């Protein structure tokens, strides 16, 4: 994922077309490195990872300067930390001796990235496509940045979201969600009039769903799975990236796809999530109604419906 992507944030934007804004997070991408005294801000800006002059690589909590985690390589002579193209995150000395590494590999042609997530955990992660419309443009298409919608984005009726190469995403007034290529429909949810009631389409935790007062109307997960050969550390403990945990892309190749952040490696110590999560604000919850976030315990992912 690149910071030059066109992002549409999780707030209920109703603008037609794309919005250009930088990604909120700081990632160390394949081939990039941190040298002595260089640092990388966490996804939410509350932590920083520093390649120290003493050879130690440390994640600090900025509010009080407490060290959350470190590689315990002080005095080793390490001078730079590299996110390698092979997927491994490695500390090297000035003469390129490897001192410490995560042992991670890149899978299925997907690049690994290093970041510090929203609980101060150092992670090597990769975005993996878990759902796709299978609408690649015949004959190929020019390379271009995708139009990206963050986790929690709510599609508005009648708004045209313009992606690259003539690809358009529309939540139609008849309740159908349609992907167009140069004015021709190439994929649709085939849900019209939302089963007799108003509906809200949302991107939620790797799921594209339609909801109304009766609950689920449609959930586009018929081919939801990780690519063949893709490995991850734990599906139960993915990186805590909030709105960037799952991204919905209108891609240059003609596909619309959901990409989920998967953890390839994570540090052993980190800040626990805040326990004082505010209560739910309404009777509706976007997502699995049996999940803890939808059963009254409260969650930042609860929204009231707009009608």
Does residue 299 surpass a pLDDT of 70? no
Does residue 113 surpass a pLDDT of 70? yes
Q: How far apart are the first and last CA of the chain?
A: 35
Host H or E run for residue 128? strand 122-132
pLDDT digits (tens, 9 = 90+) for 26-75: 889 999 999 999 999 998 899 999 999 999 999 999 999 999 999 999 99
Does residue 287 surpass a pLDDT of 50? no
Does residue 255 surpass a pLDDT of 50? yes
Q: Strand 147-150 relative to strand 6-8: parallel, antiparallel, unpaired?
A: parallel
Specify which residues 49 forms β-bridges with.
Answer: 40, 59
pLDDT digits (tens, 9 = 90+) for 117-145: 999 999 999 999 988 999 999 999 999 99
Per-residue pLDDT at 194: 59
Does residue 298 surpass a pLDDT of 70? no
Host H or E run for residue 177? strand 177-181
Q: Whole-prediction pTM value? A: 0.78
Q: Which residue has the higher pLDDT, 216 or 169?
A: 169
CB neighbours of 25 closer than 8 A, spacing ≥ 6? 42, 43, 115, 241, 244
Lowest mean pLDDT among 86-100, 148-162, 225-239, 246-260: 225-239
pLDDT digits (tens, 9 = 90+) for 142-201: 999 999 988 878 888 889 999 999 999 999 988 889 999 999 999 998 887 655 566 778
- The radius of gyration computed from the CA coordinates of the chain, to the nearest angstrom, equals 21
Per-residue pLDDT at 49: 96
Average model confidence (pLDDT) across the chain: 79
């Amino acid at each position: 994922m690149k910071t030059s992507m066109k992002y549409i944030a999780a707030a209920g934007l109703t603008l037609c077309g794309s919005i250009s804004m930088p990604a909120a997070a700081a990632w160390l991408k394949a081939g990039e490195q941190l040298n002595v005294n260089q640092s990388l801000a966490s996804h939410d800006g509350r932590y920083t990872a520093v390649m120290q002059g003493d050879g130690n690589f440390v994640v600090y909590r900025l509010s009080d300067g407490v060290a959350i985690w470190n590689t315990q390589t002080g005095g080793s002579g390490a001078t730079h930390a590299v996110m390698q193209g092979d997927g491994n995150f490695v500390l090297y000395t000035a003469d390129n001796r490897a001192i410490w590494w995560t042992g991670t590999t890149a899978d299925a042609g997907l690049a690994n990235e290093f970041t510090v997530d929203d609980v101060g955990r150092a992670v090597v992660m990769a975005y993996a496509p878990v759902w796709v419309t299978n609408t690649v443009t015949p004959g190929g298409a020019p390379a271009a940045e995708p139009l990206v919608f963050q986790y929690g984005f709510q599609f508005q009726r009648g708004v045209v979201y313009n992606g690259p190469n003539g690809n358009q995403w529309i939540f139609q007034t008849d309740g159908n969600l349609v992907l167009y290529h140069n004015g021709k429909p190439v994929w649709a949810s085939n849900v019209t009039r939302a089963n007799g009631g108003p509906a809200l389409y949302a991107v939620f935790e790797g799921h594209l769903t339609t909801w109304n007062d009766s609950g689920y109307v449609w959930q586009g997960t018929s081919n939801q799975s990780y690519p063949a050969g893709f490995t991850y550390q734990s599906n139960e403990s993915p990186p805590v990236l909030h709105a960037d945990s799952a991204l919905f892309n209108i891609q240059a190749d003609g596909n619309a796809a959901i990409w989920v952040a998967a953890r390839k490696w994570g540090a052993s110590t980190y800040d626990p999530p805040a326990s004082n999560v505010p209560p739910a604000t309404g009777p509706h919850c976007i997502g699995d109604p049996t999940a803890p976030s939808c059963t009254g315990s409260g969650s930042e992912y609860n929204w009231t419906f707009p009608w």
